[in-house]
Amino acid sequence: MGDNFNTLLEASIKLELHVARLYLVFYHSQPQDASFWWTLALEEQNHAALLRSIQDVFVPRGSVPEKLIFDNLEILRQTNEDLSGHIAVYNSQIPTREQAFNLALRIENSAAELHYQNFMGKLPDSDLEQVFQQLNEDDKDHAGRIRTYMHEHGIAIDV
């Protein structure tokens, strides 16, 4: 595992934590949907914890599933910057329900999040991949769950 992998892993952890923070902002600003946002925020924190365990336990052993980490550092950095901006804006200005849900949908359909979801949903190539997928079993398909929730609650989808 090289420095580039560690940099990608750190950026990926940061991304999951940013998404969790944004969902917590929505949790506080959208009381009618608070439990939904709380659940997603916890799951994003779980994603970050899973990635951190990779960094702490598996990287030193050299046993990390190859395709787990999204490998475009520039996209990860830009997405993290964008998320920081959204967090700052919505900490001072309450988003509409539609803004919150549509932003979440865009985030969950971003390249880095889709890469993570695709890895977690594919047939595992190794026992190690299967372990990671099992650890993440209940915390997947956020985009689908957001879409379903929006549909069930009459929230317009604009993405």
53-68 pLDDT, tens digit each: 888 877 777 777 667 7
- How high is the pLDDT of residue 120? 66
Judged by average pLDDT, the poorest of 19-28, 55-64, 82-91 is 55-64
| Domain annotation for the chain: domains and CATH numbers | 3-152 (1.20.1260)
Judged by average pLDDT, the poorest of 36-40, 45-49, 52-56, 144-148 is 52-56
Asked if residue 71 has pLDDT above 90, the reply is no
What's the per-residue H, E or C state across 71-91?
CCHHHHHHHHHHHHHHHHHHH
87-144 pLDDT, tens digit each: 999 999 999 999 999 999 999 988 777 666 667 676 767 776 777 666 656 556 788 9
Q: Are 91 and 25 in contact (CB under 8 A)?
A: yes
